[in-house]
Structure 1
Amino acid sequence: MSQRIVTDLNLAGTGWQSFERTVQRLIAARGYSGVQLAGASGDGGADVIGSLKGRRWLFQMKRWRSPVGPEVIAQTVDACRRYDADIPVVVSLNGFEASVRVQQEQLAAKGIPLQLWDRGMLQRQAERVPETPPALQDPDRFQLRPYQERAVDNLMDELVNGARSALIVLATGLGKTFVAAEFHRRARVLRPRARTLVLAHRNELVYQLERAFWPLLPASAATGVWNGYERPDRDALDDLDVVFACVDSVATAVKSGRGLPEFGLVVVDECHHLGTTAYDAVLGELSAADGGAFLLGMTATPWRPDGKSLRTWFDYPVVDVDMVRGLRDGHLANVDYRMFTDNIDWDALAAGLAETAPALTPRGINRTVFIDEWDDAVVDRLADAWAEQKNPRGIVFCGTIDHAERMAGRINALGFTSAEVIASRTAQGKAVDAATRNRILWDFSDGRTGILCAVDVLNEGVDVPDVNIVVFQRVTHSRRIFVQQLGRGLRLAPGKEKVVVLDFVSDIRRFAAGLSLQDSLSARGGAARDPRVKIGSQVRFMRANRADQEGEQFLREWLDDLEAVEDAGEDVHVLRYPPDSSITAVAKR
């Protein structure tokens, strides 16, 4: 079959976003690594970036009706300097002015290897892409793990045996999207004419899902996006094999009376969001899980904020692996989780909290029990962890931009690696331009930067490489955000023995969560547990870089209802001060 990565439709028949993503998919299929979209306001002249054979390539795309002139070449060369890239490439759908060829020769004489790609070059590059999906060409890199293979087999059984829907529940880092993409690949073999609709509740997730499916798609499969930024017409939708869409965009079309193409498979990411009017409208239009399209739901968190069950759409999950089971069974990287108690004010505890914090709410306890942790001490412990790890790479989650800048400055001053701040705004409140942010992420991906000090930008929606050191210096009471941040270090990788987590968060609920995780990892798990599996994950309480068993004992006695404390709001009185004199003695040590 002929390739459908580069077509007239996705080059010129839709929007500029589709054009950029076409080049992104093309160069990834041609073997480039670390391929990212950089195009945005303030991108500094870069649209797509990637690496090939140790060299950094920067692509600037123009879908103008007229040929590109010298000014674009100058912008692209300047962008290369800003991004510290090696090879500038200008991609133009309608060719180049004659003077640009002269300019190319002049730049070559200066050692700048400018490349000029027109429509013909894109077609020739695409024709070199094998029909076989990239994942099948590199099975070692994309090999399914046993639990993923079982999940795909179970999904295929459901499909073949006439089920209307299926649910997969896999914790962050366990590859639920990879499972869904492989199921889709096998389902296409059985039903080659069936189109697929992949739904998400946010625009950014739609793009992530498309990128995640590409390695499992043959070159003859055309993909497209339908969301708040891209609105393909009916002819464009009819031409696509897989449509990745924001549910609100599709629901708006349905409610306006616009018909949808026929889809044989509907995949819903983060399916715990089902039940909204938007999802009801779309699934109802397609009769998904109701005699029409087969409905596949995937989520890492099957619980819903409103407490309702997913049984309206699904039976029991075909696979269900939470984070604790993933850790205990070796599906995630071993976690060496160190919760530091250095900043507990033991004098305040010994004096008796009933007098100093009579309300005993989480907020009151936090204000009374904890003192500020010295950033220098945090960096010293980070340096120790850096020396422990092979090929170390880390993220420090900070609470404010000022704090992130202080941390990066201390790390750079100590000199064991280089650190940079990544945030949406500067300390002065100015938005960080896309070029700066993209360059920082690229340097981190290439290993030029060892540690990122992040403020609210690496929770989700941003592709960063796997890390083996995670430092918490910001408080979050959101279980979702905490799991997303921790998940940055949980994925397995060749040569990765463990992820070291340094938790300096001054919040009593975090200690409750740590104790709960420690107990879960220590549980034997009954007869079903394979005795050959060695539990390498652990949670330790540390003080002055040594085990703090007395502090752990004290916290256990105090936090007798871990679940209530972990889920408590600021005004819920769930804490008590232990009257046992032996516990008070621990506080007085």
Structure 2
Amino acid sequence: MLTLTFEDGTVRVGGLSESAVAAADLPGVRWDDRGVVARASAHRYAEVRAALDERGLDYEDRVLPETRLDLSHAYDLRDYQRAALNAWRENGNRGVLELPTGAGKTVVAVAAMAELGVPTLVVVPTVDLLTQWRRELETEFEIPVGQFGGGEQVKEDITVSTYDSAYLRAEEIGGDFGLVVFDEVHHLGGAGYRDVARLLAAPARLGLTATFERPDGAHDVIADLVGPKVYDRSVDDLAGEHLADYEVRRVEVDLSPEERERYEEAQGTFVDYLKRSNLSLDSGSDYQKLVLRSGSDPKAREALLAKQRARRIMMNADAKVERLGRLLERHRDDRVIVFTAHTDLVYRLSERYLLPAITSETGTKERRELLERFRDGTYSRIVAANVLDEGVDVPDANVAVLLAGSGSEREFTQRLGRVLRPKSGGGTADDADGPSSEPRSDVGTAILYELVSAETAEERVAARRR
């Protein structure tokens, strides 16, 4: 009789000889000369088992623990959350859910964990999310929750891990969980993180994200490792009833004469080099060629530095700073988050308008204190550089001002999501909507202002992210 066991990130198929491997033609199973045994990557476990069942072959399955968990939750799922869970279940408990920030992806995951009742690993990108998920799961299920990362390495039947810690521990604990939840699953497209999914045997896999597709096409890899996108809803689908109605207002500002002169000189240096080198502004691969050339070609390096200068000028224009003051005055009774691309601009705005500032240099304790004061109303506005885009439990706001950003649709969606939550919703585990996920009747209109420097490349950047 064949036996299936987990071993160092693989499924070991005992009782299958080298000569029989090719004849058996089991998904991903190959002969390992070093171990003198047949084995497959752990993520193929469900496929191997399904193939054996289909062929009516007897086997003993020792891969996963037989532990069953009696889990329940207090959430009353909204219609779209129930539809998302059903779509995932109908796809064999595999697949990715794409829902905007604030739509309660965490709620669906908690419901999935309760329905399956198997040991579960939740993988998240940041320590902040690690803490939020653990707090949410301990509250909801009232059982100990393990943690890999943030200074702890404790395994329980339900464990939360950062991607980095899961990468280090996967070969060891890959046979301990029947369900794995990948929060912000687009991170799994990174070359190193893919091994996290490959080394885990969990047959049930749930991916959560607000923006599934990656510019590098790595979402196809994620679909192979976790499952395809099985359900999605856009911001527009949910705005009004479940999320705040919203407006995106584009505000154009002019560069000062001195800024315009410096911008045109820097941008001209960059564009001239592209023309001489037959490179295109619209090609990501051409831009990568420029970066590579800059290591050995002084002209390429000069062009790249000029591009960076032009970008800083258009993104940090003085007129944006002045316009922000008028917007803050207009929305003095609202809760406002200001987003920038550069840390130095954050500090400049913080000093000028007395705004609490959060950057990558802000310590975890200080950041949490600032956000708590924003949550309780002590502060009604904050300014941040990138660090609030993902993986941080941000209190409700209803106005966002985007002074500068990239052309990334994901970044734009995350920032818009920071003002789309129901005004009275709790914010747990990044985007859970509190213990009750019933539609709110008190949802207001959110506003996101995009400040764009006119007649610059920023106009193209703003169009690309939308």
Residue equivalent to 2:145:
223
Deviation (angstroms), 1:242: 0.5
Alignment-derived partner of residue 336 in structure 1: 247
- The answer to whether the aligner puts 1:144 opposite 2:77 as a matched pair is yes
Distance 1:280 1:471 in 2: 35
Are the structure 2 counterparts of residues 218 and 510 from structure 1 closer, same or farther at C-alpha, using a change threshold of 3 Å? same
Q: Structure 2 matches for 1:484-499, cutoff 5 A?
A: 484-494=414-424, 495-499=442-446
- Following superposition of structure 1 onto structure 2, how do residues 378-389 of structure 1 map, counting pairs within 5 Å? 378-386=324-332
Q: Is the Cα contact below 8 Å between 2:102 and 2:243 reproduced in 1?
A: yes
* 1:267 Cα deviation after fit: 1.4
Higher radius of gyration, 1 or 2: 1
Q: CA deviation at 1:434?
A: 5.2
On the 8 A contact 1:405/1:421 being kept in 2, the answer is yes
Residue aligned with 2:152, SS:
coil
Which AA in structure 2 matches 1:146? D
Separation in 2, partners of 1:369, 1:268: 37
Deviation at 1:147, TM superposition (A): 0.9
Identity score, percent:
28
Distance of aligned partners of 1:381 and 1:172 in 2 relative to their CA distance in 1, 3 Å threshold: same
**Farther-moved stretch of structure 1 (270-279 vs 482-491):** 270-279
Which residue of 357, 363, 376 corresponds with 1:421?
Answer: 357
Gaps of 5+ in 1: 1-130, 137-141, 189-193, 413-418, 426-431, 517-562, 568-589
Partner of 2:324: helix, strand, or coil? helix
Measured after TM superposition, the shift of residue 452 of structure 1 is: 0.9
Aligned to 1:198: 122
- Determine whether 1:307 maps to 2:217: yes
- Rounded to whole Å, the distance in 2 between the matches of 1:502 and 1:224 is 41
CA distance in 1, matches of 2:328, 2:135: 33
The match for 1:169 among 98, 104, 118 is: 98
Say what the alpha-carbon RMSD is for the aligned residues.
3.9
Aligned residues of 1:208 and 1:461 also touching (Cα < 8 A): no
The separation in 1 between residues aligned to 2:199 and 2:320, in whole angstroms, is 58
Contact 2:338 2:382 in 1 (8 A): yes
Within the alignment, does 1:372 sit opposite 2:305 as a pair?
Answer: no
1:207 is aligned to 131
Mapped partners of 1:488, 1:318: distance in 2:
25
How far apart are the structure 1 equivalents of 2:313 and 2:170?
55
SS at structure 1 position matched to 2:419: coil
Residue number in structure 2 paired with 1:461: 391
Is contact 1:345-1:369 (8 Å) kept? no
Instruction: Describe the superposition over 1:118-137 as per-residue Cα deviations: whole angstroms up to 9, x where unpaired.
Output: xxxxxxxxxxxxx996x62x
1:267 maps onto 2:191 in alignment: no
- Which TM-score applies when normalising by structure 2? 0.61
Secondary structure of the 2:390 match is coil
Counterpart Cα distance in 2 of 1:323 and 1:226: 33
- Are residues 176 and 513 of structure 1, via their aligned partners in 2, closer, same or farther at CA, if it must alter by over 3 Å? farther
- Cα distance in structure 2, aligned partners of 1:202 and 1:384: 35
Compare relative contact order (CA 8 Å, sep 6+) and give the higher one, 1 or 2: 2
Q: Which amino acid aligns with 1:334?
A: D
- Is the CA contact 2:371–2:394 (under 8 Å) kept in the aligned structure 1? yes
SS in 1 for 2:151: coil
Aligned partners of 1:304 and 1:375: how far apart in 2? 32
Alignment of 1:310-325 (within 5 A): 310-313=222-225, 316-325=228-237
The residue that corresponds to 2:159 in the other structure is: 243
State the Cα distance separating 1:394 from its structure 2 match: 0.9
CA positional deviation for 1:165: 1.8
1:225 CA displacement: 0.5
Q: Deviations over 1:81-127 (max 9, x none)?
A: xxxxxxxxxxxxxxxxxxxxxxxxxxxxxxxxxxxxxxxxxxxxxxx
User: Would you say 1:394 and 2:323 are equivalent positions?
Assistant: no
SS of residue matched to 1:168:
strand
Aligned residues between the structures: 338
Residues 223 and 499 (structure 1 numbering): CA distance in 2 closer, same or farther, change over 3 Å?
Answer: same
Q: For each residue in 1:8-28, what CA deviation from the matched residue of structure 2 results, as whole angstroms up to 9, or x when unmatched?
A: xxxxxxxxxxxxxxxxxxxxx
Identify which of 379, 382, 387 aligns with 1:452.
Answer: 382
CA distance in 2, matches of 1:368, 1:403: 11
TM-score (norm: length of structure 1): 0.49
- Give distance in 1, aligned partners of 2:244 and 2:226: 30
Instruction: Tell me the SS of whatever aligns to 2:141.
Output: coil
Provide the secondary structure at the position in 2 that maps to 1:504: strand
SS of aligned partner of 1:206? helix
Amino acid across the alignment from 2:254:
N
Structure 1 letter corresponding to 2:186: H
In structure 2, relative to structure 1, the CA distance for the partners of 1:185 and 1:367 (3 Å cut) is closer
Q: CA deviation at 1:400?
A: 4.7
Q: Once the 2 structures are TM-superposed, how far is the Cα of residue 149 of structure 1 from its aligned partner?
A: 1.8
Classify 1:299/1:423 alpha carbon distance in 2 versus 1 (closer, same or farther; 3 Å). Answer: closer
Deviation string 1:173-221 (CA, Å, 9 cap, x unpaired) is: 3222221112212222xxxxx2111123444443333234344x332x2
CA distance in 1, matches of 2:312, 2:148: 47
SS for the counterpart of 1:307 is: coil
The alpha carbon displacement at 1:506 in A equals 2.6
Contiguous gaps of at least 5 residues in structure 2: 1-69, 273-280, 283-306, 425-441
* Displacement of 1:268: 1.7
CA contact (8 A) 1:420 1:453 kept: yes
Q: CA deviation at 1:280?
A: 5.5
Letter in 1 for 2:326: D
* Deviating more after overlay: 461-470 vs 366-375: 366-375
